[in-house]
Chains A and B, each alone.
Chain A
């Protein structure tokens, strides 16, 4: 076997994670029709060669349902985490640059959001927006920006005092120029890693809130819906309805984590020679 150095290993790991996630998303989206097909001639089958994850009480193929659900979760996760991270970037920068009053107000809001348990806040927000797809996306987006906003605020505060920024100011470079040319490149890696590491949380919370009945409607093959339906059939010994979709959810979340962490390592200049 060829011995790879740490950096190449990380790149490979990152690539595998990303490719897997893209494939799941594409395949799931492609088969979304097939996930709804019911066939009573094949209901309640245990996992086998033909139906990898078995079938449910309506004869729906659990493997396809799982993939579709995951694909749904990933897309919601990307949407919500994307919105959330932009929010974090905006608020974090505003807090650090717009003076004391704005800073106090934004820090206050962060404390407020962090003060209510995530799940409860998600329930409240999802309730406020009439549950369903909109409720989930807005809910997840509004609850996940806080920690990244804090990081960015701290980072910008430090940057403002940095010598090269001060110099640029003295040289008469405009604020917009400083923000774009000098601050953004510095913030970018942190932002990107923060964004990717936000996905797993977003996905987990989407699944949880859907599981509780506040998220996606029951006719959608979402992971949360699948798992909450499986609860009714658990006592009858249909373990496959819960086991495999859950395992794949865990796998997806781990892979996002792996992708984020390897990206962090790659972008960290300290690890270049490993």
Chain B
């Protein structure tokens, strides 16, 4: 636990250092060269103060970190709202998406992995393996583009972007609208997420099927279904779960790209906007929040070891 907090602290230090050494001038990036030239010295000074130019980085870090511990992540410079509020809104949008994709890809990937691993080299195995390899090499944003082309532009069955219909008031947005807008991004994320877990589960499954205890079960005349259910499932589930919890970082990265393509107003898109617009407080806030999720996932993975595998439970906690 302490280790995690320390790591989080260092994540924020690293992130802060990175944005501090940046040669990008927030004034130039947001106001533009021409507008800057036309401004008076006073106006420029005022803007510099707003964007925090000229204060030594160390001082800025402690001011920022101090506020952070009190729950104040500062003001987003682009959205002109507290960072906590911006992140709150975006996070809800993204969590929807990521949670669906995470569950779907986990379950589908696991099942595909088992099916493919039962008989190595069978037609089904080769199809699933080929599919996974291709998907693993496909950039998420391109897949998003292709799905967008097929379903939104060509077939016109799903909306082309955003999380709610355009021109409808917030109160008029129905759950159905939200679901409809989340379908394509969620499917894209799920499809890309499946590859890893499938390939991994398949490897483990092949290992299990070659083991002595499965050979013996076969000799006893157990059916394939019973072998999978009684002997393989638990052995394969542990590494799969661990991988799935450790893959939160991947899902997050994918969502950044996918949200960008679908103009889906989630955390990932906010991160890109913040990065392009030099909105340092927001960028830092998102980095720390996402690191919390990643560490949380790893922690859960470690705890789950004990729940599923009695050998590790006896050996004491690993986290």
Contact = CB atoms under 8 A, between A and B. Distances in A.
Given A123-B271, A227-B145, A242-B142, A116 B256 contact: no
A127 B294 contact: no
B184 interface: no
Interface string B134-163: 101111111001101100011000001000
B287 A120 contact: yes
A47 interface: no
A116 B290 contact: yes
A115 B253 contact: no
Nearest to A214: B275
Given A115-B291, A123-B271, A231 B137 contact: no
A210 to B, nearest CB: 10
Interface string B1-24: 000000110110011011101111
Given A127-B19, A212-B272, A243-B149, A257 B133 contact: yes
Contact of A119 (B17, B19, B252, B261): B252
Contacts of B291: 115-117
Interface string A101-131: 0000000100110111111100111111111
Contacts of A116: 11, 14-15, 249, 287, 290-291, 294
Contact of B10 (A112, A200, A211, A214): A112
Nearest to A245: B142
A3 B7 CA distance: 56
Contacts of B137: 200, 204, 250, 253-254, 257
Given A129-B22, A212-B272, A250 B134 contact: yes
Interface in A128-149: 128-131
B22 A230 contact: no
Contacts of A129: 22-23
A128 B19 contact: yes
A237 B17 CA distance: 44
A242 B295 contact: no
23 contacts: A108-B7, A112-B10, A116-B11, A117-B252, A119-B252, A119-B256, A120-B271, A124-B15, A125-B18, A128-B17, A200-B137, A207-B139, A208-B140, A211-B139, A213-B276, A230-B145, A234-B153, A237-B154, A246-B139, A249-B142, A250-B137, A253-B137, A254-B134
Closest 4 CB pairs of A and B: A119-B253, A246-B142, A253-B137, A128-B18
Interface of B: 7-8, 10-11, 14-15, 17-19, 21-24, 133-134, 136-142, 145-146, 148-149, 153-154, 160, 249-250, 252-253, 256-257, 260-261, 268, 271-272, 275-276, 278, 283, 286-287, 290-291, 294-295
Given A116-B294, A124-B18, A250-B139, 14 more contacts: A112-B10, A114-B294, A115-B7, A116-B291, A117-B290, A119-B257, A124-B19, A127-B19, A212-B272, A231-B261, A234-B148, A249-B139, A250-B137, A254-B134
